[in-house]
Structure 1
């Protein structure tokens, strides 16, 4: 990796330069041999709507890696073209089509929504343009050749927690989640490791209407009456803030341990939850306090640039830039979308802020997972839960 941190001002200046050059159109098209000059990379992330905060994290993580490497990937100057994914599959698909067909980018990164990535699958597969996604990865996305993800499959955070909770709950566990695909993926993932480890469920799992549920009191009363010794839940965004605050106000915090995929307390929602989040236990593939050389390069630089600790969304996007850096370099003198995609399949181990990982045959990471606990308003690593994705 390139040597030392750049001062905040230099990082910001480098990023600004990269984004302004994106208007120039000097790069050749995706299918053409880009032997010299800048390469053009698309960032497909929300810049408006419900998921803008996640999109900002992803954009900032990707841009930080490029800035730390002198504005280059694989030794080549980079033009970054940002397209607004928005908050629907239709808006995401339109933005992706612009990047591939009009801007003719070499490769694309980003994508928050599972609906978007399912909607653009055929565009990238038939267009033979690599998408190195850094968030969305539904369990239904299989059999792809040009789509890679540096994040995780949706059910893996739940899988990572199941055995641990079964061994420590001391009785039945109540399962509750937002009633959409990601919530169902997480619950099924949790059960897949929880039940074989001897865990028992308190009644039937509950799926709360999404996105309309604001009042969780009836469900909290159900938890209280169930005899559960612990709760596993899946919520993100505003629902995560509402659920955690109401869990505390109802008197369940400190009485019935609350476990969840890391999204429950990740990023801006943790600030919104305040003291109500203390003691919550989550599983995620990253925590800003991890002690490894790559994270010591990444986390302080990100915090200095943006005034906040990096999230898993920012980290996975930093890694996506690293994957493209390695692949473009490995492609050598013939840099095309096809040659870069072939090189991605051979990148091997990635020295990441999360710990070392590599792509499996399905294009997702074989990686470590961590148990985190919220202490004094911050996620802190308690232990490693093992590796998933193999």
Structure 2
């Protein structure tokens, strides 16, 4: 594939690991200051793990491009150091992500790791992260962990989209039943568990057999017809789903052409992110969804972020994944600056713990002490038409979660 960024080169087909590329490194010479000179600052290497092909290729590129945007806006520096971003493939099996993390930590000697799409892969590489005492600043979701000493996440805990949406769906459906469905991998199971547990705790009733969410094989499901037939047979009054990328496109389009198209469809916000909306078209109009970010949020940090993104990637709308990866770079920028002249990974990790509140395109947030994930607002969005295009419009705030 061709790697996008300041430098472009082709990676041989079939390779699992991406090779190192330099992300706008600024070489700092020594400068005279008050008769002396400042010590030369070492290059900080950051390992980025994300999917480079397959059904999660789009969110993988969003992780890379969000981090790269932050670097480009700051002359390729993090914390006053030249920064080198080293890319590695996440793959779709635990062995691939472990191989990638091993190379980054043991051969490339990175000072931090970021990225990670499948929350289950965080647990897969956690022993390596703890062994090397290198912070993981993930930029998507992950399950709850008992040991987060070196684990930080700038996006969410995987159960939270469902937790945020459940009270709204309960209010809308009232005495009716909801059919919950999603993909059978770690993040999918977590996302649906957050919704099902919260919805039923509030007195909501599921139409699913045995009161359990239905999970579809991931990433191979292309025909959702049998599942949509099962929804029709259940007598459900509404549907709640989590899917991402290609699965989200396929499910929404097939839902709109099925016998249950008249049922309201509620979703985690990843279902209707911009790249999916383009393909979903009219089938997505009207879907209510919950997420921690929307590009129409009116604050100074978001205006700067959206403006810079539009200039760098015209025609693409920034997503929560782009935003969270941008914020991961911001976290590392502040922590590296606070950690000393040439900080070790352990010193960077300690500095992250002391950052306090961050000013983000999503609004202010900070890491929770117990989870090392954001305490942040969640927003109710609806897919609406803006001229000829469809977009997610913020309707209201849903909740503040985290802590």
* 8 A contact 2:5–2:68 mirrored in 1: no
* 8 A contact 1:295–1:354 mirrored in 2: yes
* 8 A contact 2:302–2:362 mirrored in 1: yes
Paired position in structure 2 for 1:337:
345
* 8 A contact 1:117–1:136 mirrored in 2: no
* Equivalent residue in structure 1 for 2:258, among 226, 250, 257: 250
Q: 1:45 to 1:176 in 2, by over 3 A?
A: closer
SS in structure 2 at match of 1:36: coil
Residue 14 of structure 1 and its aligned partner are, at CA, apart by: 9.5
Tell me how many residue pairs correspond in the alignment.
370
* 8 A contact 1:15–1:67 mirrored in 2: no
Paired position in structure 2 for 1:30:
none
For the residues of structure 1 that align with 2:87 and 2:189, how far apart are their CA atoms?
A: 31
SS in structure 1 at match of 2:189: helix
For the residues of structure 2 that align with 1:68 and 1:57, how far apart are their CA atoms?
A: 16
CA RMSD of superposed structures (Å): 2.6
* Equivalent residue in structure 1 for 2:267, among 260, 263, 282: 260
Offset from partner CA, 1:142-169 (integer Å, 9 cap, x none):
3121111111111110001111111111
Matched, 1:98 2:84: no
SS in structure 2 at match of 1:221: helix
For the residues of structure 1 that align with 2:207 and 2:77, how far apart are their CA atoms?
A: 53
Q: Segments of 4+ in structure 1 off by > 4 A?
A: 11-16, 21-26
Q: 1:14 to 1:369 in 2, by over 3 A?
A: farther
Paired position in structure 1 for 2:166:
162
Bigger CA drift: 83-92 or 165-174?
83-92
Paired position in structure 1 for 2:16:
none
Matched, 1:207 2:194: no
Matched, 1:188 2:193: yes
SS in structure 1 at match of 2:22: helix
Paired position in structure 2 for 1:83:
88
Bigger CA drift: 326-335 or 340-349?
326-335
Bigger CA drift: 43-52 or 105-114?
43-52
| Mapping of residues 110-125 of structure 1, within 5 Å | 110-125=115-130
* 8 A contact 1:110–1:134 mirrored in 2: yes
Residue 203 of structure 1 and its aligned partner are, at CA, apart by: 4.1
Paired position in structure 1 for 2:60:
55
Q: TM-score, normalised by structure 2?
A: 0.85
* 8 A contact 2:23–2:71 mirrored in 1: no
Residue 53 of structure 1 and its aligned partner are, at CA, apart by: 1.7
| Mapping of residues 277-288 of structure 1, within 5 Å | 277-288=284-295
* Equivalent residue in structure 1 for 2:46, among 41, 50, 75: 41
Matched, 1:273 2:275: no
* Equivalent residue in structure 1 for 2:336, among 322, 328, 334: 328
Residue 207 of structure 1 and its aligned partner are, at CA, apart by: 2.5
Q: 1:44 to 1:184 in 2, by over 3 A?
A: closer
For the residues of structure 2 that align with 1:56 and 1:266, how far apart are their CA atoms?
A: 14
For the residues of structure 1 that align with 2:40 and 2:199, how far apart are their CA atoms?
A: 52
* Equivalent residue in structure 2 for 1:306, among 313, 335, 339: 313
User: Could you list the runs of 5+ residues in structure 2 that have no partner in the other structure?
Assistant: 10-19, 29-38
For the residues of structure 2 that align with 1:169 and 1:283, how far apart are their CA atoms?
A: 16
Q: 1:317 to 1:15 in 2, by over 3 A?
A: farther
* 8 A contact 1:15–1:63 mirrored in 2: no
Paired position in structure 1 for 2:373:
364
For the residues of structure 1 that align with 2:399 and 2:367, how far apart are their CA atoms?
A: 16
SS in structure 1 at match of 2:137: strand
For the residues of structure 2 that align with 1:257 and 1:21, how far apart are their CA atoms?
A: 45
Residue 25 of structure 1 and its aligned partner are, at CA, apart by: 12
* Equivalent residue in structure 2 for 1:293, among 284, 290, 300: 300
Q: 1:22 to 1:80 in 2, by over 3 A?
A: farther
